[in-house]
Chain A
Amino acid sequence: MIRRYATTALLLLIAIHQIVLVYSAGLTRWRGGGFGMYSADHPAMRRVWVEFLPGSDAAPPGTAAGGRWRLPMGGEEYREFRRLEWAARTLPNHRNLMRIGDTLAGLPGLAGCAGLAVEVWGEEFDPETTTLERRLVDRLEVAGRGLPGAPCGSAG
């Protein structure tokens, strides 16, 4: 019995876990062993944006102060973000957004950062008008490290 059905049972257990994450954490249907490819938008269609919250006079190395940036930003110092960014596209949960926020908040150039928001954006296609429209998949606010009393990595 085990020899005949063990692999199928394992596949189904992992697939159930994947479906739960699709609905609870925004996991893309394409990944995670649930065999949902070609049923919804691919993570390559998603983008991760970082918004520096009002009061920030700091900026990541090589960028202007304040404002908004799309990850991954250029430059060797952002190599780590490519991996983090892709992880957030596929599974935009609290943990993955927090890792981006914490890593950014820890950069030397962001010592005076009041806080930042990490956003994952997707899209929806309206077949009536053949229009692509924005869809905010998830957003997390992270307090900066530079402000006195601001707890590092607290979620808003």
Chain B
Amino acid sequence: MTVAPNSLAGGAEAMAAEVLVPRLLVPVLLALVINLPGDRALVGFPVLTLLFATLLEPRLLGRATYWFLIAAALSIKILHEPYNCANHYYLLTYLAASLGLTLGAPTAGRSEILEANTRGLLCAVMGLATLHKLLSAPFRSGAYLYQAMLDGTMLRSFGFKVSQRYDELTAANRELARAFRDADPRAVESVRLLDFDPSLAGAAMVATTLVIGVEMLLLVLFALRPRARVSHWLLLGFLAGVFVSREENVFLATVAVLGVSMCPRSRGGEQLVYLGMILLLLAFSLLDILNPL
């Protein structure tokens, strides 16, 4: 007996993007709220109140006003601290506003409106990420990723081992960097990090080129062929790659929701992988809370 992938995804084959995306966004917003570092009351209370309201009245998820209210609740933090607000707040706010714009339109054109919104958002995010990396001299030269490899902030999540003593040596480098940063800058002008693997410099240059190339390719593919299989598999590969190297679970889950919204209903396999990816990211987000470093 064969089971259609979509049936595993809870009947996603029958669900239009403008119905599926609001349902996926609820757990992402919940993960955002419970991961808030300090100002839970400012953003957490209004967003949580709105999320709990859907337990009493699930049809709220299909209302434009509801999503504009979510966008307004998220923008409280942005307006309060515009220059200290992480980018996923901005992205979730745009996505919630996109749902408001979509659900306020006549039913017939909703899928196209949502796709136009999420396609624009994803292309803009990839374009800006590429632009910043190209404009940043430390990133362009490979120095940024080399430093991240030496202090273990890049390859940490899944314990990639470039050396048997990788954890120990990167921890030593992090301690050297911390002591240097905390010391009087007039008294201590520099510190040398342990260079435990000469091949890392070359690997950092390769990684730099790869990151810029993939982000640029995602921009081009989603601008030209947002529904193509290759676009979605590249995005899924990108999400998996970032997932193993950085702890950015809420941001990645939001990007995965953007991907789902552009994935045609005929592509059940890709939809299923997106859903699995979102579940995994949210599960790790929860683990981060239970096991803080």
Question: Does B213 count as interface, using CB distance less than 8 angstroms?
Answer: no
CB-CB under 8 A for A31 and B142, given A68-B184, A129-B192: no
CB-CB under 8 A for A6 and B101, given A29-B132, A39-B132: yes
Are B192 and A7 in contact, CB atoms less than 8 angstroms apart? no
Tell me the bound Cα distance from A121 to B181 in angstroms: 9
Are B120 and A5 in contact, CB atoms less than 8 angstroms apart? yes
Tell me the bound Cα distance from A117 to B271 in angstroms: 56
Are B116 and A5 in contact, CB atoms less than 8 angstroms apart? yes
Are A8 and B132 in contact, CB atoms less than 8 angstroms apart? no
**Chain A residue nearest in CB terms to B120:** A8
Question: Does A141 count as interface, using CB distance less than 8 angstroms?
Answer: no
Are B150 and A10 in contact, CB atoms less than 8 angstroms apart? no
| Shortest Cβ gap from A121 to chain B (Å) | 5
Give the chain A neighbours of B82 by CB distance below 8 A.
32-33
**Chain A residue nearest in CB terms to B137:** A40
Question: Does A127 count as interface, using CB distance less than 8 angstroms?
Answer: yes
**Chain A residue nearest in CB terms to B242:** A38
CB-CB under 8 A for A14 and B113, given A32-B83, A131-B190, A134-B185: no
CB-CB under 8 A for A40 and B86, given A131-B192, A134-B189: no
A 30-74 to B, binary, CB cutoff 8 A, 1 in contact else 0: 111111111111000101010000000000000000001010000
Are B84 and A39 in contact, CB atoms less than 8 angstroms apart? no
**Chain B residue nearest in CB terms to A14:** B90
| Shortest Cβ gap from B191 to chain A (Å) | 5
Are B181 and A41 in contact, CB atoms less than 8 angstroms apart? no
Give the chain B neighbours of A124 by CB distance below 8 A.
138
| Segment of B5-13, B51-59, B123-131, B260-268 engaged in the interface with chain A | B123-131
Give the chain B neighbours of A90 by CB distance below 8 A.
83-84
Are B83 and A130 in contact, CB atoms less than 8 angstroms apart? no
- Which secondary structure characterizes the binding site on chain B? helix
B 15-49 to A, binary, CB cutoff 8 A, 1 in contact else 0: 00000000000000000000000000000000000
CB-CB under 8 A for A33 and B120, given A39-B144, A125-B144, A125-B146: no
Tell me the bound Cα distance from A29 to B132 in angstroms: 7
CB-CB under 8 A for A121 and B84, given A3-B102, A34-B128, A39-B129: no
Question: Does A152 count as interface, using CB distance less than 8 angstroms?
Answer: no
CB-CB under 8 A for A8 and B190, given A39-B129, A87-B84, A125-B144: no
Give the chain B neighbours of A33 by CB distance below 8 A.
78, 82, 85, 87, 90
Tell me the bound Cα distance from A45 to B153 in angstroms: 13
Are A130 and B144 in contact, CB atoms less than 8 angstroms apart? no
CB-CB under 8 A for A31 and B83, given A39-B129, A40-B138: yes
Are A131 and B193 in contact, CB atoms less than 8 angstroms apart? yes
Are A86 and B84 in contact, CB atoms less than 8 angstroms apart? yes
Give the chain B neighbours of A32 by CB distance below 8 A.
82-83, 85
Are A35 and B125 in contact, CB atoms less than 8 angstroms apart? yes
Tell me the bound Cα distance from A146 to B83 in angstroms: 33
Are A39 and B139 in contact, CB atoms less than 8 angstroms apart? yes
B 151-195 to A, binary, CB cutoff 8 A, 1 in contact else 0: 000000000000000000000000001001110111001111111
Question: Does B117 count as interface, using CB distance less than 8 angstroms?
Answer: yes
Residue of A31, A87, A134 touching B190 (CB-CB under 8 A): A134
Tell me the bound Cα distance from A133 to B138 in angstroms: 13
Question: Does A132 count as interface, using CB distance less than 8 angstroms?
Answer: yes
**Chain B residue nearest in CB terms to A10:** B94
Q: CB within 8 Å of A: which of B73-126?
A: 78, 82-87, 90, 94-95, 97-98, 101-102, 104-105, 112-113, 116-117, 120-121, 123-125
| Shortest Cβ gap from A81 to chain B (Å) | 15
By a beta-carbon cutoff of 8 Å, the part of chain A in contact with chain B is 2-8, 10-12, 14-15, 19, 21, 27, 29-41, 45, 47, 49, 68, 70, 86-87, 90-91, 119, 121, 123-127, 129-134, 136
By a beta-carbon cutoff of 8 Å, the part of chain B in contact with chain A is 78, 82-87, 90, 94-95, 97-98, 101-102, 104-105, 112-113, 116-117, 120-121, 123-125, 128-129, 131-133, 135-136, 138-139, 141-144, 146-147, 150, 177, 180-182, 184-186, 189-195, 201, 204, 246, 248
